Amino acid sequence: MSKMTLISMIATAAAFLAASDISGAGSAAPMIEEKKAAPVVRKGSLPVNGIDYYYEIRGEGEPLLLLHGGLGQIEMFAPVMPIFSDHRQIIAVDLQGHGRTPLGKRPIELPAIGADLAILVKELGYDKVDVFGYSFGGGVALNMAANAPDRVRRLVILSAPYAQNGFFPEMLPQQAAVGAGMAEMMKATPMFLSYKAVAPDVSEFPKLLDAMGALMREPIDNSDAVAKLTMPVMLIYGDADMIRPEHMIDFYHKLGGGLRDAGWMRENMSKNRLAILPDLTHYETFASPVMATMAMTFLDGGDKPPNWAEQVGK
């Protein structure tokens, strides 16, 4: 297998991995140049169940927990952080083994990390938070919200399935191949370079690949977790995502959405939402200002347009 083939496999196929190179989303940049992200007001590490989670808190307002994608870190959200932090207090966390958070001695498992984060936000002094999770972070967010619904007010899951079969079938053998053997060939990729820039122990990178590969080889099905979600949920995907469109709809159906007409006065409207955004791949959704603005509108309680009767009655 050639070096380019291997790197292409890694960059395009890993189930929860997300490249940090956002050059493909360049058209979004002018929309966020006018604002800067709120500065970090507090940062540090907090031990939870044997994992020393690194966190950063910035901005003021209602708290919003941000969870990045696989092989990423907090900095993945830099292009859209101005939107997230405009009127919210952001709690951004480097997940287990990622960024500044060491891998620890336990496997990477979505329910365990989700449980850790419920403890983490409590230890940081928050009674309830909104949660936004992308890809791998979306799976963590789903499990956190299912296991600690009293800690989550609203939930946004971006570009993540609820089960392994949500991925296009050609992705699965490529996901299964992720492991330490790829580490050397990844040294020129943005995934490794961004990790190297902040990780406390760069030698752990091969172990992280092994841990993520082991996770992706598991036939995960979080249907039970979906059934436990009691808070309003928004699902967001790109129309060229690595998630099958049928799975997106199935996920929405499991949340009670898209099962019937909403009604003239929205009397049958689900509290949950689904958005499929045009011209976005899995590796671009997290950097899209359109996505971030849409997510924040939902997290802020929605923005219901006037219906036809209200327009005519004016």
- Give per-residue pLDDT as tens, 169-194: 999 988 889 999 999 999 999 899 99
Would you call 12 exposed, middle or buried from its count of C-beta atoms within 10 A (0-12, 13-18, 19+)?
Answer: middle
Q: Does the structure show a pLDDT above 90 at 310? A: no
Mean pLDDT of 298-314: 80
**What pLDDT is attached to residue 230?**
96
Q: Does the structure show a pLDDT above 60 at 2? A: no
Q: Does the structure show a pLDDT above 50 at 128? A: yes
Residue 39 CA to residue 18 CA, distance in Å, equals 25
Contact (Cβ atoms closer than 8 angstroms) between residue 47 and residue 55:
no
- Give per-residue pLDDT as tens, 134-180: 999 999 999 999 999 999 999 999 999 999 999 999 999 888 899 99
Would you call 261 exposed, middle or buried from its count of C-beta atoms within 10 A (0-12, 13-18, 19+)?
Answer: exposed
Closest CA to 95 of 45, 57, 40: 45
Average pLDDT, the chain: 90
Contacts of 252 (CB under 8 A, 6+ apart): 235, 258, 272, 274
Q: How far is CA 189 from the centre of its chain?
A: 21
pTM more than 0.85: yes
In this prediction, what percent of the chain has a pLDDT beyond 90?
80
